[in-house]
Chain A
Amino acid sequence: MTVSAAPAEALLAESQPRSRRRLRGSSEARAYGLATITAVYLLWALVPVAITVLFSFNSGRSRGVWQGFSLRWYTWDPTGSVLNDESIRTALTHTVLLAVLTTAIAVPIGVLFALALDRWRGRLPSGANFLALITFVMPEIALAIGLLFMVTYLATPFGLGTWAQVIGLVTFQLAYPIVICRARLLTIGAHYEEAARDLGASALGAIRRVTLPMLFPAILVSVILVFADVLDDFVIVRYLSSDAATETTSMRIYQTARAAPTPALNAMATIILVVSTVVIVLGWLAYRRWAARQGDAAVIKSLAGNL
């Protein structure tokens, strides 16, 4: 890329006046055309969701006809609101619980594995890495059925339910921390750690006091991605759930969206959206604080490029 761009730039300098004039007209028209397509796409992508959020505040039972603003489906409807319908409450708390547990397990073991992969070469670690990466394109249903069969036909110490769900989710999410932290480790390079070793740090000490702090942004991104992706999960959590207590919000939408539900379902979906937004904003704030503390503009810039 850079090699081929250099002569191109030299060429450009020679013939700039003519080309600039010729380019501007058609290029501007094209930019406006593309901007229109992009705007239409974004409207198509986001307006339906915005309408879903809007109707969670409908005062009537309809999700198609607006009957005035109210918090009925969040709080005060005696039976159907999120607050008063126990099954919706359970789905919300269980979804968040799964996200917390999965993140707490998947990110640490993924980060450690990325650290190990960085210097431990061989068939075993690269084979494990390959298996973790294949989950990006493998249909989730394959892993879900595998674990379902395993729990059903093998005497596993855990049955269907929360732990089976967490185990499936961790397996499926492991690739995020591995990929993100490896990319970051490659840009950091080995020399900081080597310098720390030269100054007398043990291998573990160098990782703990030099590498891990530099990995912070990558770990943060992993946490956000895993957390948000678990809130979204459906196939694994459904196959590995046991009863009503291990139902998630996605399962609730799947089961009731077609069966004349009330706007409480929209309210529940909106709450999950708020939860993931809050996690992303918190992550962004934590990253900003970290970057400010580093105080090195160049470091911040290089990281921003990385993320």
Chain B
Amino acid sequence: MGDRSTRLLWPVLGLPAMVWIALFFLVPLYVVFCVAFGTVDPVFRSPVPTWNPLQWQFDQVEVVWDRLFGPDNFYLPAVLRTFAYIAIAVSACLLISFPVAYFTARFAGKYRGLVLALLIAPFWISYMMRMLAWINLLQPDGLVNAIITLGGTIPLEVNWLSGKPYVVVMGLIYGYVPYMLLPLFAALDRISPSLLEAARDLGASGFDLFRRVILPMSVPGIVAGSMLVALPMMGDYFTSDLLSKSPNTAMIGNLINLSIATPGQSGQAGALLLVVLLVMLVPMVLYTRSNARAEVRS
């Protein structure tokens, strides 16, 4: 009898979370499908979800497809822009994170704890506050303009917050770089110093050491960090809204957010969201599976 109740204990403990995930993760996802593959009320222009998958319509998806690749492709620039921004931001995050993480892992010595604490600090400063910080600095009468115009003596004032792509990309890098730093630090910290010295003794130059030992061993950190930075950016709309507020820097997230805000376009927002999720499905699943497996192995 004790045995049976023990066997039942684990499912009972796991039940709340599983019910929660089913109700508030799977059901909402299904509703997105039903709205995206549903119809639109002819009078009120409001979406009418189709609950039966056998009756799903593909009108909304076709609208989105047309806007992406059809003659009326005004979604396409934002999509290409998003990929370009993400590519630049991820590369920059990597370039910044590598030396910083390597220093913290190998050379920080007695300051290691302090440096790590400072690296983690941006995690508990809210994203919005960090964007506010840059708005304060870059606004027309902000510190940056005060410095480059030497307090207003030279007419070099720049309107930084009006559709400047590089400001938005800088904001993305600033906002997301901590998510690259930590996995990279974890990977680099695992490389034993004696291994590096051994490579040296076997004749490796500094560059060889980097290319043939450090870089290959940090690949898991690079991959994890790039995923953690790149994938959430696919839905980011607030960085562009706050640092530019111009359609010139609109990203995929802005397209989705605008469709949600526009009456009658919820279906298109849902369809666009599904397209985005479909594109991201493979990397998301690979990342999550490798993570779950690494967890079990450790």
Contacts and interface: CB of A to CB of B under 8 A. Distances in A.
B136 A113 contact: no
Interface stretch (B53-61, B63-71, B187-195): B187-195
B288 A130 contact: yes
Given A204-B9, A272-B129, A145 B269 contact: yes
Contact of B284 (A109, A138, A150): A138
Q: Which 6 A-B residue pairings sit nearest by Cβ, starting from the closest?
A: A139-B235, A146-B28, A116-B14, A8-B198, A113-B17, A141-B235
A182 B131 contact: no
Contacts of B148: none
Contacts of A129: 292
B232 interface: yes
B256 interface: yes
A132 interface: yes
Contact of B231 (A137, A168, A273, A277): A137
B103 A265 contact: no
A19 B2 CA distance: 64
A265 B132 contact: yes
B20 interface: yes
Contacts of A142: 29, 32, 235, 273, 276-277
Nearest to B177: A45
A197 to B, nearest CB: 9
Contact of B245 (A48, A138, A153, A258): A258
Contacts of B103: 31, 34-35, 37-38
Contact of A1 (B126, B143, B190, B257): B190
B241 A153 contact: no
A99 B291 CA distance: 27
Give chain B's interface residue range (CB within 8 Å of chain A).
Answer: 35 or more
Nearest to B141: A64
A302 interface: no
Interface of A: 1, 4-5, 7-9, 11-12, 15, 19, 22-23, 26, 30-31, 33-35, 37-38, 41-42, 44-46, 48-49, 51-52, 55, 62-65, 108-110, 112-113, 115-117, 119-120, 124-126, 128-143, 145-150, 152-154, 167-168, 170-171, 174, 178-179, 182-183, 186, 202-204, 228, 231-232, 234-235, 239, 249-250, 253-254, 257-258, 265-266, 269, 272-273, 276-277, 280
B122 A45 contact: yes
A273 B125 contact: yes
B149 to A, nearest CB: 12
Nearest to B283: A137
A198 to B, nearest CB: 13
Q: Which DSSP category, helix, strand, loop or mixed, fits chain B's interface? A: helix
B133 A132 contact: no
B31 A146 contact: yes
Contact of B29 (A52, A62, A146, A272): A146
Contact of B201 (A11, A55, A249): A11
Contacts of B125: 49, 273, 276
B14 A117 contact: yes
A171 B21 contact: yes
Contacts of B161: 258
A187 B96 CA distance: 33
6 contacts: A9-B194, A45-B121, A52-B132, A136-B291, A138-B277, A272-B129
Which applies to chain A's interface (DSSP): helix, strand, loop or mixed? helix
Contact of A269 (B2, B129, B270): B129
A202 to B, nearest CB: 7
Given A12-B194, A269-B126, A178 B17 contact: yes
B231 A130 contact: no
Residue of B128, B143, B292 with most chain A CB atoms under a 10 A cut-off: B128
Given A116-B10, A139-B231, A42 B107 contact: no
B16 A112 contact: yes
A78 to B, nearest CB: 24
A35 to B, nearest CB: 6
A132 B21 CA distance: 7
B134 interface: yes
Nearest to A54: B136
A203 B288 contact: no
Contacts of B245: 258
Contacts of A273: 124-126, 129
B118 interface: yes
Contacts of B195: 4-5, 8
A174 B28 contact: no
B136 A141 contact: no
A136 B288 contact: yes
Nearest to A141: B235
Contact of B142 (A63, A146, A228): A63
A109 B24 CA distance: 14
B27 A234 contact: no
